[in-house]
Chain A
Amino acid sequence: MAEAWQQFMAYGERYPHKLVDALLQHLQIVGITLMVSLALAVVLTLLLMDHRRAAELAVSVLGALYSVPSLAAFALLIPLLGIGMDTAIVVLVIYNQFLLVRNFLAGLDAVDPSTVEAAIAMGMTPLQVLLRVRVPLAFPVIMAGVHLAIISTIGIATIAAVINAGGIGVILFDGLRSHKIAKILWGTALSAGLAITANMLMTRIERLAEKRLHFS
């Protein structure tokens, strides 16, 4: 145990740039994935929100895709897209659609119909009803979806190292292949540390939003 700790510290002192590079690359994968995921999820939500049947169908399809193990998903896409970061991002974006679209739709649906009707009856345009009433009231559920997507992306992006996507997973899988405990520990620590940090940040943001939007 003490030996593992020594190796862990030694590795950190000797290869700090490797760790920083891996972390930055990981953040890059996560960042790009989230931006693309959010854009796509917003489009899908706008298309589906007024079509209950289509929305239910779409969410169950996305759920089925979400349930495909990530290693299998990466393997399946290699013949189509080759290996590398792009393929990893495609897979991560697809996974996120389930978490995001489901929550976005659920949040918008949960807004009290009489509140929405009041907004329409007061002369709001459909866009005004959406932006001034439905989205603010759905905000906690929307943010919960974003929160889940961030944590999930950080985790699954680590696995994406197996198809040469880079990131923290590279260190972890190197360690596993070559039985280097220090690398395994660093990979795990960085991945978990990133997830925990993101989790705390999102919790803070959600609290602030809830206070500002006044739900009690």
Chain B
Amino acid sequence: MMDVLTPVSPALEFHHVTKRFPDAGYNAVDDVSLSIDEGELVTLVGTSGSGKTTLLKMVNRLYEPTAGQIVLRGHDIMAADPVQLRRGIGYVIQQVGLFPHMTVAENIAVVPKLLKWDSARTGARIDELLQLVQLDSAEFARRYPAELSGGQQQRVGLARALAVDPALMLLDEPFGAIDAITRDGLQNELLRIHAAHRRTYLFVTHDIREAFKLGTRVLIMHGGRVQQFATPDEIAAAPANEFVVELLASAGTSVGPSGEASVETSGGMSAGTSVGTSTGDDVRG
């Protein structure tokens, strides 16, 4: 129905993916079906406990789905060797997870080393990445994580995840613990990096403003289910349900990418914004 939902070349597809943790009386992720195109920056937003992290961790197989199928670039991820799968997926988390016993350069070199890059190539890549995340190589390459500010650590975490230029980046509230001004700068850098390389990003946040600022499409989750999956403009124009309306209201009046979303009236984008099911149909069709 909707152009934007027609998978031209799906980078990542979820087919009726459900996750129920052992002993839990509910599904943390509940029958999620959707398709993400190559080069999209999808932001995943929802209240705490809505299943965002669980959904993300199923993609790099830190968790296994209870039911359903996840397809990465045409391949069922369950058929892949998890170790090889993960080396091709960048992963950034709020806790950063930098290795405290390794320097910045060593942290960034972890995956290149796992992939047995030679040291010249790795060294060149480290410089390139530090430049990309705007850290002076001469100043920072030999520092340890404990010698960095929170924002600098997060930049290194980002550089590390980008090291082998993975086709898919998973980011779980990467800027969640960072002050507003630094966060704004990091968001802009992420947009710049994404625009320059056009890899597929799946970015989790609980901040609706961040979701609308960054996302080419925004995936809204609640109670493990997809509430709406559409562009920021579409969501602002036609919230799929009461939950989405409330979420938008909680963020105040300006959640659009250019700050005017709440006054925008784009009548052309009415249908099919309750995406949980409609993308599922697209994917299967």
Contact = CB atoms under 8 A, between A and B. Distances in A.
Given A114-B93, A121-B91, A133 B86 contact: no
B209 interface: no
A69 interface: no
A46 interface: no
A213 B100 CA distance: 8
B100 A118 contact: no
B158 to A, nearest CB: 13
Given A125-B83, A128-B114, A119 B99 contact: yes
A214 B62 CA distance: 29
A20 B277 CA distance: 84
A109 interface: no
Contacts of B88: 123
B116 interface: no
Interface string A110-125: 0010110111111111
Nearest to A118: B97
A206 to B, nearest CB: 15
Nearest to A125: B83
A137 B95 contact: no
A215 interface: yes
A136 interface: yes
B149 interface: no
B62 A121 contact: yes
Interface string B95-116: 1111111000000001100100
A216 interface: yes
B60 interface: yes
B114 A213 contact: no
Chain A binding surface, main DSSP class: helix
A137 B101 contact: yes
Interface in A51-73: none
A137 B88 CA distance: 26
A119 B96 CA distance: 11
B84 interface: yes
Given A117-B62, A118-B93, A123 B84 contact: yes
Given A122-B111, A123-B111, A128-B114, A214 B100 contact: yes
A122 B100 contact: no
Nearest to B97: A118
Contact of B97 (A115, A125, A128, A214): A115
A119 B99 CA distance: 8
Given A121-B60, A121-B91, A122-B87, A133 B144 contact: no
Nearest to B113: A132
B146 interface: yes
A122 B91 contact: yes
A213 B95 contact: no
B86 A117 contact: no
A214 B114 contact: no
A165 B215 CA distance: 74
Interface in B78-93: 83-89, 91, 93
Contacts of B99: 115, 118-119, 133, 137
A136 B101 contact: yes
Contacts of B86: 120-123
Contacts of A119: 97, 99
A121 B53 CA distance: 13
Nearest to B91: A121
Contacts of A136: 101
A216 B100 CA distance: 10
Contacts of A215: 100-101
Nearest to A216: B146
Interface string B58-89: 00101000000000000000000001111111
Interface centre among B85, B86, B110 (most CB of A within 10 A): B110
A114 B87 contact: no
B100 A123 contact: no
B91 A118 contact: yes
Interface centre among A114, A115, A123, A137 (most CB of B within 10 A): A123
Interface centre among B85, B88, B97, B146 (most CB of A within 10 A): B97
28 contacts: A112-B95, A112-B97, A114-B93, A115-B97, A115-B100, A118-B93, A118-B96, A118-B97, A118-B99, A119-B99, A120-B62, A120-B86, A121-B62, A121-B89, A121-B91, A122-B91, A123-B83, A123-B85, A123-B88, A123-B114, A124-B83, A124-B110, A125-B83, A128-B114, A137-B100, A213-B101, A214-B101, A215-B100
Given A119-B99, A213-B101, 16 more contacts: A114-B96, A115-B97, A117-B62, A117-B97, A118-B97, A121-B62, A122-B91, A123-B83, A123-B85, A123-B86, A123-B88, A123-B111, A133-B99, A137-B101, A214-B144, A215-B101
